[in-house]
Amino acid sequence: MSLRHTVFTLPLLFSSSLIAFAVSADSIPLPLMPWPQQVEQPATGGRLALTPQLQLHIVGDLPEGADARWRERIARQTGWTLLPDTSSAVPTITVRIANKVDPLPQLESDESYRLVVDDTGATLSAPTRFGALRGMETLLQLIQNDGGGTFIPFVTINDRPRFPWRGVLIDSVRHFIPIETLKRQIDGIAAARMNVFHWHLTDDQGWRFASSHYPQLQEKASDGLFYTQQQMRDVVRYAADRGVRVVPELDIPGHASALAVAMPELIAAPGSYQMERGWGVFKPLLDPSNEEVYRVIDTLVGEMAAIFPDSWLHIGGDEVDAQQWNDSPRIQQFMREKGLADSHALQAWFNQRVEKILEKHQRRMVGWDEIWHPDLPKSILIQSWQGQDALGAVAKQDYRGILSTGFYLDQPQFASYHYRNEVWPLALNGAGHIGADERAQSWQFTLPRLKGSPVKGSFTLVEGKAGWRGFIDFAGKSRRLVQQVTWLSPDEVTFQVDSWMGPLQPVVTLQQNRLAGYFLVGNVRYPVTGARLTATPAGIEPAMPDAKQLQANLKGGEAALWGENVSADVLDIRLWPRAFVVAERLWSAQNVTDEDNMYQRLAAVDRWSAVSVGLQQHTQALTGMMRLANRTDVVPLQIFAQALEPAHYYTRQHLKFQAGHYTLAEPLNRLADLLPAESMAVRALTRQMDALIGDRANQQAAQAIRQQLTLWQNNVPQVTPLIEANYQLQALRPVAEQVAALSKMGVALVNRWESGRHLTAQEVRTMRGQLDAAAQTQDELVIALVRPLEKLLRAVEAIKP
């Protein structure tokens, strides 16, 4: 039987006409994430029916126990106990691995696979075990249940990753993470077809690596919370069986407070050091002039190399406060003797010594941006927290790098922000210049932050025949193009741009050469001030490597989960399902960019990962809310939470810092700790409002909006007693009152919009005042409902009398 096939990539398959609003199995033909490189489906459809007698046949080299794990995963997804069936000679699922390779995954491992599902069964073929492991995750995502039974749709998939390094950093120092919790995250990493677990083991707040040569490290600097060598070997085996590399991090020469407690003789400034309980950057530095430092590093690297077989070892190298080096006469004399001009040169000299130690132990160096120096060999790998500018400069010098900026999952951010975060630097292609037929106005701005120096820069708005466009220049960073320049009134403008802080949306008034208003950073309003410039700034062009350098030198990226606001009890909430979005950006083709479809598939993979993989983002949220509900019905709190989001960017950390609570003693027990990074209910409401604004007669959208707003309004009397009964929630009483008032306002705005009746100036002022008050951060969260209501208010306000 011959079948016509449709070959598609994601942007072609999911055109706007095919995307349904509601998330359902029918609206997502293939709920896959990351999206494969090539997918073919028969034009006539078709499905492979599954039964509890499902047979799994494996030919070739696979990790021990892989078949049992896969059968267990299938059983979780179907609810069956899989039964043996000897009556059929044709297996339901066949896995064929062509070659036997080193069982330890490497950067260069072949992860390609081919999956064919037709009426004869499902066949997964791969050159290596690593491709088979990736392909099986795709196959498991394809297993679906509907009214007709359990099945896999007919499909042919040819797939391989775009980037070879696709990782997740987990900080086990600031909050200790138990082994079983880490193993669960490794299961998630593998399910997302990522392949690196970057294990942050040492920092100012603790030493988690058990050293046999220097037991004082874990005895004096861990509070008894550390990993034994056997536990670490067990994690390595566990990860390798799932095709995941484990890259340990020994953070030097800074972030050394814990090391200073145990071995103060290695530190640049003498003294007795205490364990750090707070978060931030601290003074202790290793002494580069002390030969004993290198003997200790040699021994520790040897111990790590014996436990972690991966060829890469991370040395940290970030955030070096050079004060101890600068204040030491001995170290200053050492620098003069070595001809080292400054602290950066001294750190580079130190890193050269460390690199030789790594080479001795057959390890290659990974480190953060600060380690880069032309005196280091090109075999090192730079992990960038400073962004695409820094990574582009590294690649232009033919050093290799991976990106973490924009993938910091300890920061609450919209999934779409991570999704747009391209590893490549973005060229301006001439759009940063003003044409002869264009008019431009440039504005300087200052955005004070809650902690740290203000963010300064300028933006330029350009009017031409095609309308308005623009670009922004953050101080010290390359020029970026802005999107969707919109004049809300003759003197009020907004636009959108992605920054290292998150998605940025200024809403500013430009009057009499003065700028006022706010920048929406993620979901948090930051007030700004500024003034008009007399000339357009020259700006900084992005550092653009050539095509060959981009391909050869940029190896991928890592999601980062730093531990200041992350404990084991909320880790899954922070990491999942957003890590799947990062995984797709690093695995899938560059043109896979449809955000609406991404959100549909993300919702599907969120549920799938909880069932099939055992991730606990929903379990942890429910458990935490049950604690807050204090043995009463948790449903009102869940409904209330749908209107809320944790404050984005580093707002929560900075608020804790201002309050003097930026320490390990601060409990992670607020409602904000249990919320996902963005409210899917508010996102759905926003889409319905867009539909209604686009078509005033859209009764389906109007009804959906009224139902959601009425639910929130009617829920407030139910959740208020619960809030008052728990001291951890009492700060949210005004938030609940605002949610009720905003919901009522929203229904009134829908009614006005449908009837075409305009608002009086006083009504507009009153409503704007309510929204502005409700937009403020309260108890480290924001009322996400404000955003769609602002949009609807502007539409109603535009109705002519």
Question: How large is the average pLDDT for residues 54-75?
Answer: 94
Q: Helices in 194-327 by DSSP H: which ranges?
A: 216-220, 229-240, 257-262, 291-307, 323-327
Cut 0.85: pTM above it: yes
Tell whether 582 is covered by a domain.
no
Same domain, 514 and 636: no
207 and 73 in one domain? Answer: no
Give the residue-averaged pLDDT of 617-629.
Answer: 98
pLDDT score, position 12 = 32
E strand spans, 147-208: 149-153, 155-159, 165-171, 196-200, 202-203, 206-207
Structure confidence at residue 83 as a pLDDT band (50, 70, 90):
confident
Position 718: which residue type?
A: Q
Domain boundary among 106, 126, 159: 159
CA atoms within 13 A on the CB side of 149: 9
The 10 Å Cβ neighbour count of residue 760 is 9
Answer yes or no: do 299 and 379 share one domain: yes
Q: Is residue 246 domain-shared with residue 385, that is, in the same domain?
A: yes
pLDDT at 16: 28
CA nearest 385: which of 513, 198, 535, 239? 198
Same domain as 99, residue 194: no
52: preceding bond cis by omega (within 30 degrees)? no
pLDDT exceeding 90 applies to what percent of the chain?
Answer: 93
Query: What CA–CA distance (Å, rounded) separates 507 from 519?
Result: 6
pLDDT in tens, 134-179: 999 999 999 999 999 999 999 999 999 999 999 999 999 999 999 9
Distance CA 294, CA 290 (A): 8
Same domain? For 251 and 355 the reply is yes
Residue 7, pLDDT > 80, answer no
Residue 84's pLDDT band (cuts 50, 70, 90):
confident
pLDDT of residue 11: 35
Domain co-membership, 207 together with 345: yes
Phi-psi sector, 779: left (phi>0), alpha (psi -120 to 50), beta: left
| Whether residue 169 sits in one domain with residue 155 | no
pLDDT, position 23 = 31
Task: Report the domain count for the chain.
Answer: 4
> What is the pLDDT averaged over residues 564-568?
97
Is 203 within the bounds of a domain?
Answer: yes
Q: Can 291 be counted among the known catalytic residues?
A: no
Is residue 369 located within the same domain as residue 256?
yes
17 has a pLDDT exceeding 80 = no
- State the residue for tokens 């039974």: 149
With a cut of 90, say whether residue 729 has pLDDT above it: yes
- Give all strands of the β-sheet with 483-489 in edge-to-edge order: 480-481, 467-474, 455-464, 439-447, 524-532, 514-521, 502-511, 492-499, 483-489
For residue 21, pLDDT beyond 70: no
Whether 569 maps to a domain, the answer reads no
Exactly one of 72, 219, 319, 492 is catalytic; which is it? 319
Asked if residue 431 is part of any domain, the answer here is no
493 and 621 co-located in one domain: no
Give dist(CA 693, CA 451) in Å, integer.
39
The pLDDT of residue 9: 40
- When the pLDDT of each residue in the chain is averaged and rounded to a whole number, the result is 94
Is residue 602 in a domain? no
Query: Percentage of the chain surpassing pLDDT 70?
Result: 96
Report if residue 574 sits inside a domain: no
Q: How confident is the model at residue 88 (pLDDT cuts 50, 70, 90)?
A: low
Residue-level pLDDT at 85: 64
Q: Do 223 and 325 fall into the same domain?
A: yes
Task: Answer whether residue 607 is part of any domain.
Answer: no
Q: Is the pLDDT of residue 298 over 80?
A: yes
In the structure, what pLDDT confidence band is assigned to residue 618 with cuts at 50, 70 and 90? very high
**CATH number of the CATH domain containing 132:** 3.30.379.10
Contact 81, 52 (CB under 8 A): yes
pLDDT tens per residue across span 194-225: 999 999 999 999 999 999 999 999 999 999 99
Domain containing 346 — which CATH number?
3.20.20.80
Provide the domain limits for residue 218.
165-422+550-561
Has residue 241 got a pLDDT over 90? yes
**pLDDT, mean of residues 446-463:** 97
Please determine, for residue 1, whether its predicted confidence score (pLDDT) is greater than 70. no
Residue 567 domain-assigned (yes or no): no
Q: Domain check: are 197 and 249 in the same one?
A: yes
Residue 87 has a pLDDT of 62
